[in-house]
Structure 1
């Protein structure tokens, strides 16, 4: 990382020997020999304690060694002697590295007050102000950087990202194109441009940007969203090299889940690198000072998310939040997402919980609020899903931090979460080495469900877009979970079962629909036997879902809410477990409804099991009847029992925390009965 140096020669009023020693120290610093530079600067300071340049550059040396606290101390000593812009700028860098963003802004502004600065100073200040949610100030400084140096590509790119977040997409694209004009081969800029195009659903152009930037991980995800499986083996192999190579930049985490070759070890590594790239300053900062009453009569639980509205997470979690025991648990909901006026807004208002809108807070301010509220256990519900702010949990605002529900995998960095909640199927004890978190296993299924979900009378088949006759296979998963091998099995089922149809959720891209129809037609199947369903509100979706006969799980990334939706609607689901958490959820779901016989060992067993059920309507009807009869009593849908088990797990975590035993890494397994 570059640093700012004083202009001109050092103002030394010492001997020629000291000057020579300073020059040696400076040469060592510039050559990257940090240990030698540190030793020589200390010698200079011993001989000339008032040498501000030596004090400053010793601080820079410490900064480059990632000893940010000591760096701040030495640079502050230099500033006590002389107010020099470069000292202030490097102090700002040091403070920012410790997530002391407000103090870093102050240092930058003081440097700028002493006179005009380089473009990168304004750019860095813009980054800090954006982080502090001063978006007008950030935009002003990015534009000042560009005015200072019109060809400074990084400022154009950062301005584009700011404008994109503000919804000013047309302006954002212009700024990003300018950045690429000045640096057309920048992998970082091409990644940003591809992401922008992806958000605009211009996936073909996004694919070109990712390919040019050699972002194979993003490229494979785009192709899977388009149901374009050509050359995916080669692209997946290149993406895996990116994940495992120490010499490549960070890669996405969620988007990797559709890759058949992804291992738990590689997924954990990708998570760690992503965390360090996105929240490195918070991960390196001192932990938030907490105000926790260890002997509090009620355990104070905080849930952290941006999804406290009509969202898939709330469809699962709402019942649990309503059923928490207020006599034993003090529940707080921390929302950094939009507060929307929908059906869940009213439910939240009547939950035994305190709602906190922290959307306007910086990561530091949010962490301080949570810490000041005395939260014992903070449960992060997002992980690496869209909109996540793990910078909050990285600051450690609670003694125990738990990862649950939103992200099916390890976050990769132990500071982000102490525990991950799973079960014996999705996170078996044998998988513990693949997690930076300690496994915390619920006795049945890790996934909650809302017992109040409506499942009314189904519409007619014609109204739902289905033919009046024929067996209905269904899979309402996102398109990126589909792949050639799996779809080939589904085609075999369509070929074997006359008049059957495959009912899918309509992809947002017409191109994906066309590619899927083309795939089945190439195998001699009428493409009209693929039926695409529009997206509906959940109540209407659950009603129509009852028209399906058999749900087909996806692999290697399986059904999650789509799987429990099908089972809630009384539709059996054939599944097969994979290596990853995300590929084992289906097996956990069917186990928790007492239908373990729906779990197949491999691809062929999956095909044969689905085929035998499709050919045996009596057996299939019996499974449907069992699902409907035990809808509220089986472990998967008994929300009250699930909530009591979850509370027991929280209590066990806190007992372990307060017992003084160092048992981190040893799985916490909850017994069935309690």
Structure 2
């Protein structure tokens, strides 16, 4: 037999160590057993912490660091015997071949740490057998670890061979046990030495002719007797100090055997539960009287030959009883009347040890027992099922198959084994072998038995597939489920699971489509209430996965359409379809899916207000304005509160404006909107605003600025709306537990403080605001200002190149999405001093954050007109963009910068792609251009623009921008017809592919005609940068004065009109006066190098001075305005 002993303890020892060094009991037992087994002709290996590979007494000693699976395959072991340590069971079983039986041989008590792994029944069952050194120990393990009795065996340890040769007759014993009478202690110091040293002075006082020899230390554990390593050094020193005590320490067994020849008594007041006790066996073999406790297995080991003292919780009683027993034996030894009886008993004791604790005999017993395990080939291994589970769990499929083959030889009619063996073959990639094996099993089955067997097989296949899926073995999991598909074709749950796996792991689309086709076939004629709970859950998962992985495939649509038609549908697929619709909107070529899914969505939601509103937005952003208006009108009919009516009506108005040609309908809708808002702020509706309504009301106020230039009445109304909404937003957040901690700084820090400036916007990306704010962000002084960006990324644009640039130039950034409370909390935690809103009323999340006031100073700038919120402290403007009387209509303080409220360092321009001949326009005519979206196309201004064209000979008008092209063209043609202008002078242009090309193509124009009452902003700046004269109409509202302030800050007065008449006059002048156009173009060219409009660095210094003044006022209450700045 090939047998390996494995000892993981960190000791460096070999077989010969037992002859030359003190060694622990279990290790010495291992060495003697190994030597005997070698004598019997077996190949024996010792794997431990020896340093080199070598032979010792015929045993091959292998360093533990060499252990691996290859070594064990090469060794081809029959048995692998683990010494004491159960912690490495899984590791060892995994690398050992199947044929190798795993045995645990332990001398530990059941409470030792190294053995606690047996508490896991799965681990304990991996051992073919567990060997104990006493029945007492065995019973303790069975009770504690619930072991199977048949799995356990007892082989008591033995005395070393040297001790069995000590005495052969009564005479020899009596000659050696003469005065002085020697007592000995031969165990480790912690097992009772201290008690013995307490006892011995009393003994010595009565028997001056006795001597105690102490053979004890921790050297048996390879610990030196130094103060640093051995905690019992003081106990050894005490031995030296007590009269009659000789401290010798631990010695090798041959030397100990020589000493014990002369020892009369083993005095061992044991306090440790021995599982066997080799020290006692050695003393008994040496003809010593043994006095010890009855603790642990000592009664079993001593077999009636020793004097056993009952262990007591009271150590004084125990010591008294031990002393009395020792005195009695000492007296008997000295009494000649008792000597014959004593020596006769000792001879019997020696004979008992020689017969029962002899390593030659014990090794024969081990050999016979191990051989019986090997020869019992017709019976299953006791732990074969545990091994099967282990191999399966650890993916050791070759061993698993071998195990099943072995068991099938022993249990050829066990059909379950065929089932499990086939699955093992599949796991190992041997599908054809699995099929053959199953066909053998099924050949003789009746129809009823066949169905039972298949049902069990399907259950096992599903269980194993789930297990393999969890392990990441996706191909195997699918293969197993395909067998379920074969054996149980009606199992829809299995098909759905296969589809989920294929989709999640991006398998071939044709394969996925095939499986989805089978699912559709199964679902076609059933209702939801016919499905099991498990199938229901899997179907719900499939829907979500389809929506995520392949939302825009026909098979996905067909499944969702079928499910949506079920009468008793409680599946929550509305949100899933909504997500698919949002996905489809990103792909123009998939627009048909947008509409098809939209129909399903409306059906499932029973055309509710929310679904109608949502789909109206979908159609609107898909440029299907007709359907958008149809649905928004239906949504409006479903409104039952003033707030929802106002929000939906405003949305309708924005659609009409985007058309650019339905002005009369837009005007009626606008008048309705004014009425609705007036009633709302007057308290005509008792219904409280819902969580999101305040945000929509504020944001939708932007539509008013396209309709008329009415600063006085409209700004007052919108400020009232904003105030009402702010209160609702704050109350809703507080009621839900939101309380941002607003940062407060002390006056003492204000002079030296680096201000934390936060900018919040959804436009830190490829967007007009993103371009226009770049000059300020580039020029900031980071020594005085720490810049934080709060990027609202609802559309997942954080990888946009402009957004990436912003993230690089700021000091800190935070990306938020739809949770405005999270954003506000982050701003407060960052202790922002001044928070600047770049969106104003153009984004609901930004507005909501500002309403919660997370910073002590809040400013509105750039994005749009101020929202009219008391929580915003300042509106950053200049001296032109709002008139001097405007402060009366704003809650925010109007902070006027010395020059322009905006400045950029120019624009990037590409090569022009538009030529006059492309438009069939002669080279010698005047070209006017207006480039704006449909919502800015006010019919009154359109009429003024066409009057200019009519009055400038040889002129053409280019109209460019996003709008419904048919509608906008019809509107312009209609007005042209009214004033007698030929439609041939009008050209309608499509938007350019990029902003850089758009700017280059502006060069085709001689004059730009601005819109009113909503001027251009970015478009005006682009035109001025390109050096093209511009005509603008100046009004009262912010949106009607942008172009005015830009011209003023570019040093140009020409083209600024304060009335409709002046607008037309300036248009005609520019169109007919070449020198005027040249003069203004030259002004604009020179302005690039000196005008405030193009001086981002100077502008940034003005803004930073404003921030410092705002902060100074906040911490001191004193407002000191920088030069040129003004409030109001």
Q: CA deviation at 1:219?
A: 2.9
Kindly indicate whether residue 855 of structure 2 is the aligned counterpart of residue 398 of structure 1: yes
- Match of residue 420 from structure 1: 875
Q: Secondary structure at the match of 2:842?
A: coil
- Are residue 317 (structure 1) and residue 780 (structure 2) matched? no
- Map of 1:34 onto structure 2: none
Residue of structure 2 in register with 1:289 after alignment:
741
Determine the C-alpha separation between the residues in 1 that align with 2:785 and 2:965: 48
Residues 709 and 1037, structure 2, Cα contact 8 Å, conserved in 1: no
- In the TM superposition, residue 452 of structure 1 has moved relative to its aligned partner by 4.8
Q: Any gaps of 5 or more consecutive residues in structure 2? A: 1-546, 549-563, 586-593, 638-647, 686-692
Deviation at 1:586, TM superposition (A): 1.4
1:28 alignment partner in structure 2: none
Asked whether the equivalents of residues 729 and 852 of structure 2 are also in contact (C-alpha less than 8 Å), the reply is no
CA distance in 1, matches of 2:721, 2:970: 30
Q: Secondary structure at the match of 1:567?
A: helix
Decide whether the 8 Å contact of 1:310 with 1:342 is kept in 2: yes
Verify the 8 A CA contact 1:160 1:173 in the aligned structure 2: no
Q: Highest Rg: 1 or 2?
A: 2
Structure 1: tracts of 5 or more residues without a match = 1-134, 137-145
Does structure 1 retain, via aligned residues, the 8 Å contact 2:907–2:1025?
no
Q: Residues 441 and 669 of structure 1 are in contact (CA less than 8 Å); yes or no, is this contact kept in structure 2? A: no
Structure 1 residues 318-333: aligned runs within 5 Å: 318-333=774-789
Instruction: Note the alpha carbon deviations across 1:555-613, whole angstroms, 9 max, x for none.
Output: 11111111111111111211122232111111111111122342211111111121112
1:207 aligns with 2:633: no
- The 3-state SS of whatever aligns with 1:411 is coil
| 1:518 has 2:966 as partner | no
Q: In structure 2, what is the Cα distance between the partners aligned to 1:605 and 1:412?
A: 32
The C-alpha deviation readout for 1:333-381, integer Å capped at 9, x for no partner, is 1112134445425533552x22423235732322222222221111111
Name the CA distance, whole Å, in 2 between partners of 1:599 and 1:280.
Answer: 46
The answer to whether structure 1 residue 537 and structure 2 residue 994 are counterparts is yes
Contact 1:649/1:670, CA 8 A, preserved across alignment: no
The answer to whether the 8 A contact 1:217-1:255 is kept is yes
What pairs up with 1:229-248 in 2 under 5 angstroms? Answer: 229-246=663-680, 247=684
Cα RMSD for the two superposed structures = 3.6
Q: Which of 897, 908, 919 is 1:454 aligned to? A: 908
Answer whether contact 2:834 2:859 (CA < 8 A) is retained: yes
CA distance in 1, matches of 2:1072, 2:988: 21
Write the distance in 1 (CA, Å) between the matches of 2:1114 and 2:861: 18
Look up the match of 1:344: 802
Alignment partner of 1:671 is 2:1104: no
CA shift, 1:316, in A, is 0.8
Q: Select the structure with the greater relative contact order (CA < 8 A; seq sep ≥ 6).
A: 1
Query: In the alignment, is residue 266 of structure 1 matched against residue 717 of structure 2?
Result: yes
Structure 1 residues 531 and 298: CA distance shift in structure 2, 3 A: same
The count of residues paired between Structure 1 and Structure 2 equals 517
CA distance in 2 between partners of 1:668 and 1:174 (Å): 61
Correspondence list, 1:19-418, <5 A: 171=597, 174-181=600-607, 190-212=612-634, 213=636, 215-228=648-661, 229-246=663-680, 247=684, 250=697, 252-260=700-708, 262=710, 263-273=714-724, 275=726, 281-282=732-733, 287-291=739-743, 293-294=745-746, 295=749, 297-337=753-793, 338-345=796-803, 347-348=805-806, 350-351=808-809, 353-360=810-817, 362-386=819-843, 388-407=845-864, 409-415=865-871, 417-418=872-873
SS at match of 1:546: helix
Query: Does 2:1042 align with 1:585?
Result: yes
**Structure 2: distance between partners of 1:468 and 1:340:** 46
3-state SS of the aligned residue for 2:741? coil
**Residues 619-648 of structure 1 deviation map (CA, whole Å, 9 limit, x = unaligned):** 111000110112131011111111111111
Q: Assess if the C-alpha contact under 8 Å between 2:772 and 2:903 holds in 1.
A: yes
- 2:955 is the alignment partner of 1:500: yes
Q: How much does 1:447 deviate?
A: 2.2
Give SS of 2:908's match.
Answer: coil
Q: Normalization by structure 1: what TM-score? A: 0.69
Deviations 1:1-51 (A, max 9, x none): xxxxxxxxxxxxxxxxxxxxxxxxxxxxxxxxxxxxxxxxxxxxxxxxxxx
Task: Name the SS for the 2:888 alignment partner.
Answer: helix
Change (3 A) 1:267 1:342: same
Structure 1, 244-253 or 601-610: larger mean CA deviation: 244-253
- TM-score normalised by the chain length of structure 2: 0.42
CA contact (8 A) 1:412 1:436 kept: yes
Cα gap change, 1:361 to 1:177, in 2 (>3 Å): closer
Matching of residue 568 in structure 1 with residue 1025 in structure 2: yes
| Counterparts of 1:393 and 1:232, CA distance in 2 | 31
Distance (Å, rounded) in 1 between the aligned partners of 2:984 and 2:705: 28
**1:57 corresponds to which residue?**
none
Contact 1:474 1:552 in 2 (8 A): yes
Separation of aligned partners in 1, 2:675 and 2:1125: 42
TM superposition shift of 1:224: 2.1
CA distance in 2, matches of 1:201, 1:460: 25
CA deviation after TM superposition for structure 1 residue 273, in Å = 4.9
Measure, in 1, the Cα distance between the counterparts of 2:857 and 2:1092: 27
